[in-house]
Structure 1
Amino acid sequence: MGNKARERKRRITKGILAAALTLTIYSGGCLDKKALFTLYFVVLLDVAGQGILIPALTTLIIDPTNGFLPAATSAATRNFYFGLITGSFFFCWFLGATMIASYSDKVGRKKALVICLIGSVLGYVLTIIGIYIQSIILLVLGRIVAGFTAGSQSVSQAAIIDISTDENRTENLGRLVAALAAGLAFGPIVGGIFSDQAIWSELNVTVPVYIITACLLLNLVLLLKYFEDVRETEGNFALNPLSAFSELAEAVKTRAIRNISIVFFACVLSMTLFYIYATVYLFRKFEFTTLGNSVAMLVIGVGMAIGSGYLIKPLSDRFTPERIVSGALMVMALFQGLFLLSGNEYFAVASLLPFVMGYGIAYTNCLSIFSDAVSEDKQGWVMGISISLFTFAGGIVSIIGEGLMDIFLQLPFLLSIAGMITASILAISLKIIQPYKASPRTKNGCH
């Protein structure tokens, strides 16, 4: 890569990262900004870590020239190892998300987030050691530890709800989703730049892992210093790794949760079908390089930040939540269709912006509907349910998605469009808004 190309890459990635971070940090409202920033940072790093580690593992495991595995290792064996490492994380994330979230209801958000951050650090340390000693077992163990303690998104969502009022809850959740979007931008930038030996020969795939580990330790310090729980806790909780199944069964039995869960699951399943295989599609159709796909992922991050951080409030002032969810899903279906029909790579990438803006809007409103359906002492539990549904969808897509593309390149995306249209119709036809009858939240928030 020439000097001009490297400089252009740096300018593009820095500019889009700056936009994503600005949208997140400077939309903080009037709550305690240090506490809010700490929660936003938790979510940003959680998503960024996945964006850093998955490409690194792809290079280590799949690339036969890397040297991590013997050169004679078959493609089938490499695919098995890669699936084992990534699949173990998603499976343990599914098991741990609801457990950690319910734990936060009992003992407090701060203690639960400390566990999540310590678990993430330990998981990355095991991963770094595994890379250096070339151990598949340690890589899997690192992903298992990180997966079981990857409940920070649901706990952070519940913490935001704790310090919000009924009037600003959806808006504050939107900013949290914007932080998630910034993580989508931050991860590819850190992973791409700090592992690129064309920039500096000493860089490698472990450097971004060191960076995210250091950021997590910083986040832990900020959490201990600036964040405090605002609700009383009971203090007793029995840890049960299999609670995800019983909690989902309880959610299915509860009509107020069941209906929104159906719509939410259809939404995240459809989005995951698109997100995981969008870069493969861009590579096969337009021969996108790593830089091109990184820019596409950054556009997705910026679009989510705009949708969840800036469009939530004006839409909420004019429309009911179910109509916002339904309309946003239809917008997603429309622009994904334009993405598929596009014969021009620039138009294809541009169509991603309104597409993911729609997702940020739909996702945030679904979280708000989940929150509104239960009492204040069950906020962690219901946010854990939402993350369990998300991780369950991710597991399904990981198993079937590659086979779908082998049948027909556009098939995952056509199924995604069909799912979004179905979810849009269900958002109106099902009674997804069934608020819990309680006094309005007025504590620690803006009016």
Structure 2
Amino acid sequence: MARSRSPLYVLFLTVFIDLVGFGIIIPVLPLYAEEFHAGPVAIGWLTGIYSGMQIIFTPILGRLSDRYGRRPVLMLSLAGTAVGFLLMGLAQTLTLLFVARIIAGITGGNISIPQAYIADVTTPEERSKWMGMIGAAFWLGFTFGPMIGGIMSRVSHSAPFYVAAVMAAVNVVVLYFILPESLPKEQRSQPHKDTSIAEVFRHGNGWMFGLVVATYFFLVAGFTIMTTLFALFTSRRFG
């Protein structure tokens, strides 16, 4: 039997706010980095290092949420995201900007936690619907975030980072007061042997699974290249 749906709407709002905060910095990050004399290669690394940290720490955050609960790990990750955004706004050197991006990337790999939360509180019949809702929240946040970031950049190139930090902090407060824990203590797992990449492919129908992964990789890579360089392109082409 599924529990009350109200926590799922809170979770929808949480993911939406999280992605608005993430999207806010997309239009301004390359231009902001140029203020620290970063070239195109450095800007590419500045973008990529965030995702690189997410690749490493997303499964770690997922395992921590299995052991300690969804709510505290999600709150901690959002608090770290707020710190990362704040440091980006306060950065006075390119090195500090990289450090801030690393912090934000480490704590930003939290999308698996809302998905696990949904699995905890929904029936199999409702699960795909709510997974789709989380996907919708993701893309809604990604839609409105860059628009807000573009508007805030009229104040200064650092202003969007402060707004993103505030939104992440608001998210922590919302979670603390409204979102209940979904994973009872008796159901939390103990540390176990990690699954290797080879095992994932072996149990994922081999080459078919690899083809899906490769397709998604190139899709996301193309999208990331466009979003990373689009601000620089439009700035140089149209002034």
Structure 1 partner of 2:176:
224
Displacement of 1:165 in angstroms is 0.7
Aligned residues: 231
Q: TM-score, normalised by structure 2?
A: 0.83
Specify whether residues 263 and 103 from structure 1 end up closer, same or farther in structure 2 by C-alpha distance, changes over 3 A only: farther
Displacement of 1:136 in angstroms is 1.2
Structure 2 partner of 1:164:
122
Displacement of 1:170 in angstroms is 0.5
Displacement of 1:264 in angstroms is 4.0
Alignment of structure 1 residues 50-199 onto 2, 5 Å: 50-62=22-34, 68-69=35-36, 78-130=39-91, 134-196=92-154
**What SS does the corresponding residue of 1:55 show, helix, strand or coil?**
coil
Letter in 2 for 1:45: I
Question: Following the alignment from structure 2 to structure 1, what is the Cα–Cα distance between the partners of residues 191 and 65?
Answer: 9
Larger relative contact order (CA 8 Å, sep ≥ 6): 2
- 1:124-151 deviation digits (Å, cap 9, x = unpaired): 1211111xxx211211111111111112
**What SS does the corresponding residue of 1:228 show, helix, strand or coil?**
coil
1:32 aligns with 2:10: no
Letter in 1 for 2:176: L
Of 166, 173, 181 in structure 2, the residue corresponding to residue 214 of structure 1 is: 166
Contact 1:42/1:152, CA 8 A, preserved across alignment? no
Contact 1:98/1:247, CA 8 A, preserved across alignment? no
1:276 aligns with 2:221: no
Of 21, 39, 42 in structure 2, the residue corresponding to residue 49 of structure 1 is: 21
Displacement of 1:288 in angstroms is 8.8
Question: Following the alignment from structure 1 to structure 2, what is the Cα–Cα distance between the partners of residues 156 and 140?
Answer: 27
Structure 2 partner of 1:21:
none
Q: Who wins on radius of gyration, i.e. which is larger?
A: 1
Displacement of 1:97 in angstroms is 0.4
Displacement of 1:61 in angstroms is 2.4
Contact 2:78/2:172, CA 8 A, preserved across alignment? yes
- 1:323-353 deviation digits (Å, cap 9, x = unpaired): xxxxxxxxxxxxxxxxxxxxxxxxxxxxxxx
Letter in 1 for 2:44: G
Question: Following the alignment from structure 2 to structure 1, what is the Cα–Cα distance between the partners of residues 89 and 211?
Answer: 39
Question: Following the alignment from structure 1 to structure 2, what is the Cα–Cα distance between the partners of residues 237 and 289?
Answer: 54
Mean alpha-carbon deviation: is it higher for 222-231 or for 151-160? 222-231
Displacement of 1:110 in angstroms is 0.7
Structure 2 partner of 1:347:
none
**What SS does the corresponding residue of 2:165 show, helix, strand or coil?**
helix
Contact 1:122/1:146, CA 8 A, preserved across alignment? yes
Structure 2 partner of 1:252:
201
Letter in 2 for 1:87: G
Specify whether residues 145 and 273 from structure 1 end up closer, same or farther in structure 2 by C-alpha distance, changes over 3 A only: closer
Contact 1:252/1:258, CA 8 A, preserved across alignment? yes
Question: Following the alignment from structure 1 to structure 2, what is the Cα–Cα distance between the partners of residues 109 and 259?
Answer: 33
**What SS does the corresponding residue of 2:197 show, helix, strand or coil?**
helix
Letter in 2 for 1:223: L
Contact 1:93/1:151, CA 8 A, preserved across alignment? yes
Displacement of 1:277 in angstroms is 4.7
Contact 1:46/1:153, CA 8 A, preserved across alignment? no
Q: Please, which runs of 5 or more residues in structure 2 have no aligned partner?
A: none
Specify whether residues 90 and 155 from structure 1 end up closer, same or farther in structure 2 by C-alpha distance, changes over 3 A only: same
Q: Please, which runs of 5 or more residues in structure 1 have no aligned partner?
A: 1-29, 63-67, 197-202, 291-447
Letter in 1 for 2:45: L
Question: Following the alignment from structure 1 to structure 2, what is the Cα–Cα distance between the partners of residues 263 and 223?
Answer: 38
Letter in 2 for 1:248: I
Question: Following the alignment from structure 1 to structure 2, what is the Cα–Cα distance between the partners of residues 186 and 247?
Answer: 37
Q: Kindly report the root-mean-square deviation, in angstroms, between the aligned alpha carbons of the 2 structures.
A: 3.0
Q: TM-score, normalised by structure 1?
A: 0.47
Contact 1:43/1:152, CA 8 A, preserved across alignment? no
**What SS does the corresponding residue of 1:94 show, helix, strand or coil?**
helix
Letter in 2 for 1:138: L
